[in-house]
Structure 1
Amino acid sequence: MEILLLRITDGCQIRMQEPECLGVGVVSLGSTNEAILIMCVTAGYKTVFIEMVGEGQSEYAVADMVDMFVVLIPPAGGDELQGLKRGIMEHSHLVVVNKADGDLMEAAMRMQYEYSSSLKFMRPISPNWRPKVLKVSSLTKEGLPELWALMQEFHQTMLRTGELLETRRKQQRVWMWNYITQHIMQVFREDPRVKLALANGS
């Protein structure tokens, strides 16, 4: 099975386009990114991981590109739980607490319990899947087989219920309207009359 990781950050061989504001409260990752994703799938990659660095509006936008939205968090205190944006949690299908090893194991277990409790009071983004919280360690490999098994279970559930196909149809509509909006804005900005008005301070 071919797996590809796309990491959205500076200095990548494959760089995703920076998030673009389309209007008040509307952010798109750009039509180029959808094209990159389609290119990767066409090239034969069955599984593509898109890594978002940091937390911001682009995290919400990437939900329109993926089948499964996974939130990766380090072990931390209760303040971290309170500080994490509710919107990101509401978009998540799976929450993964990493670095669950050594001196951080106790904190990771506590975070797993706190997030599991918190998710019980949130409406799941999918009617066919209850978000889960898992702790893993890249050092000891603990939890990694379970993580992959959960991802496969999610995929099979979405396939069986028909939700995967419906989600992708919705995403394609979002991509279409984002492309149309970006194209209209580009034509508007490049119009000589607009450039002249801006140059004159109008």
Structure 2
Amino acid sequence: MSFTKIDHYEKEYIDAHHDSALNVTEGVADQPIVNPHFRRPKRRRLSTEEYVAGILRGDITVLSQAITLVESSNPDHYQQAQEIIERCLPHAGRSVRIGITGVPGAGKSTFIEAVGNMVTSLRHKLAVLAIDPSSERSGGSILGDKTRMESISSNPDVFIRPSPSAGSLGGVARKTRETIVLCEAAGFDVIFIETVGVGQSETAVHSMVDMFMLLQISGAGDELQGIKRGIMEMADIMVITKADGENIHKAELAKTQFQGALRLFPMPESGWRPKVYTCSAVARTGLEEVWKGVEEFLAHTESNGYFQHNRNRQNKYWMYESINEALRNSFYHDPQVEKRIGDYEQRVLDARLSSFIAAKELLDLYFEDKSAKR
């Protein structure tokens, strides 16, 4: 039996020499409308005033829509997003921002879920955000946090938001920081910012949080292997997870080793000597001690002035990051640059032009185009 394709929308036919019970009908380009009088109306975009009012009254639906607007790469959305953020800024800044990272297998989601339930039981409102470096490559979001945190995802006092799904790490981090502002304005007073894995995203997170928590698991051999020194130096609190059952002794041994390693580091600018805890999110043990450590750190840094000093320094850092991101977007969306950059890229790949000369000429082209429009 042979089949022949005539056209994308035309039928396939069967050789006439063979009988078949198959009833072949022609395909159609579009799915027919069952009820031609019914059209799903397009959702109206809210005004800036409606967005701000919804956020300030804690409307999760409006908050989610506003964050989507902030994350949008559509230039038409940018201006309204900035207006919303500016209007929300006076109502932000009243939360505790905690960065959480850990080695693969440390159980970040299970830990966040367990601590999150405890935090909300203390009458706090919790927002869980994420920065995922893998989203740069795949264009996707983080690994389904809502499905991995079932018990708190339905909690009305918890808001879980996946990572922004596009752009450079710097751009993703900037959007996460703007999301923090909106969440704080909506009344969330504890913000967890989770990073996926241990890598360069920790630096971005460290620039937007009040304290940094590193999760680690115990195991055979040298407990310090696989942990970058820079990541350990960022940690204000280290937590050895999965300290239950037969693993309790290993967890205590790991705690001792990490305490010894941390004592070798210089005293942090905060004046706080990092502490190490063990806990089990499954057995619900050690969690209260971890949270008590968080409260002790915050009390210490607020009393010595480091808390506000760190926030001020972060604001300065993000001023420059915002400038860099705006210049980057302006350059790559310039019509002349968009028109010529592919040609320059190919000439560099063919070794007909050096990367430095190509960059200089593209920048000259950009500035000439800007000057001509003045």
TM-score normalised by structure 1 residue count: 0.90
Q: 1:80 to 1:53 in 2, by over 3 A?
A: farther
Residue 199 of structure 1 and its aligned partner are, at CA, apart by 2.5
Does 1:20 pair with 2:20?
no
Partner SS state of residue 321, structure 2: helix
Q: Which residue of 2 aligns with 1:83?
A: 226
- 1:150-169 maps to which residues of 2 (within 5 A)? 150-169=293-312
Unaligned ranges ≥5, structure 2: 1-123, 132-141, 146-159, 348-374
Highest relative contact order (Cα 8 Å, sep 6+), 1 or 2?
A: 1
Distance 1:28 1:104, change over 3 A: farther
Q: CA deviation at 1:4?
A: 2.3
Query: How many residues are paired up?
Result: 197
2:286 corresponds to 1:143 = yes
Equivalent pair of 2:223/2:257 in contact (CA under 8 Å): no
Structure 1: 5+ residue stretches without partners: 22-26
Structure 1 residue aligned with 2:315: 172
C-alpha contact 1:19 1:30 (8 A) present in aligned 2: no
**Bigger radius of gyration, 1 or 2?**
2
- Percent identity over the alignment? 32
How many Å separate the matches in 1 of 2:189 and 2:294? 13
- Structure 1 residue 42 displacement after superposition: 1.1
Please report how far the alpha carbon of residue 165 of structure 1 lies from its aligned counterpart in structure 2 after TM superposition: 0.5
Query: Which residue pairs with 1:57 in the alignment?
Result: 200
Q: Could you report, residue by residue, the CA deviation over 1:16-39 in whole angstroms, capped at 9, with x for unpaired residues?
A: 336725xxxxx5643211110111
Residue of structure 2 in register with 1:39 after alignment: 182
State the shift of 1:126 in Å: 3.1
TM-score (norm 2): 0.50
Alpha-carbon separation, structure 1, partners of 2:309 and 2:185: 20
Higher relative strand content: 1
* 158, 181, 184: which one aligns with 2:324: 181
Mapped to 1, the partners of 2:238 and 2:325 lie a distance apart of 32
Deviation at 1:63, TM superposition (A): 0.2
- Conserved in 2, the CA contact under 8 Å of 1:29 and 1:58? no
CA RMSD of aligned residues (A): 1.8
Instruction: Give the whole-Å Cα distance in 1 for the aligned partners of 2:342 and 2:193.
Output: 40
Secondary structure of residue in 2 paired with 1:71:
strand
